[in-house]
Amino acid sequence: MFYAEGDSIPLYIGKSIDIRSRLLAHLRTPEEARMLRQAQRIEYQQTAGEIGALLLESRLIKELQPLKNKRLRRQQRLCSLRIRDGLLGLEQSTGRSCFRAQIGKCAGTYRGENCGG
């Protein structure tokens, strides 16, 4: 998040794996270089991965309405992500097969066997 001096609302919100390379990329066009010159403070938040970064960026842009994020600021469409059958292995195992495994319909992706949940 790029902030101008004394501002509580950011000029711009973006995501990046490498902040230094992202800053250098903002010097490519005159308008982006002008925005970078206005920025007096940069803040960042770490996320668990790409999806987390995209969701955080989108939420912050809609909440804070930064001046330079016009395109994402206007989008009113929301999306959601539904995770089923332990595909990510985030669910705690109960030590027994899930109902879908018991009826022969589980994809069995958790630990390469029945999902266990």
Among residues 15, 65, 13, 54, the alpha carbon closest in space to that of 35 is found at: 13
Are 113 and 67 found together in one domain? no
Are 93 and 61 found together in one domain? no
CB 67 within 8 A of CB 89: no
Are 100 and 54 found together in one domain? no
**64-79 residue pLDDT tens:** 988 888 766 555 566 6
Within a domain: 79: no
Instruction: Give strand pairing partners of 39.
Output: 4
3-state SS assignment for residue 20: helix
CATH number of 56's domain: 3.40.1440.10
pTM assigned to the model: 0.56
Number of independent structural domains in the chain = 2
Where in the sequence is the domain holding 60, given as residue range(s)?
Answer: 2-74
Are 56 and 105 found together in one domain? no
**52-106 residue pLDDT tens:** 898 899 899 989 988 888 766 555 566 666 666 654 555 555 556 677 777 777 7
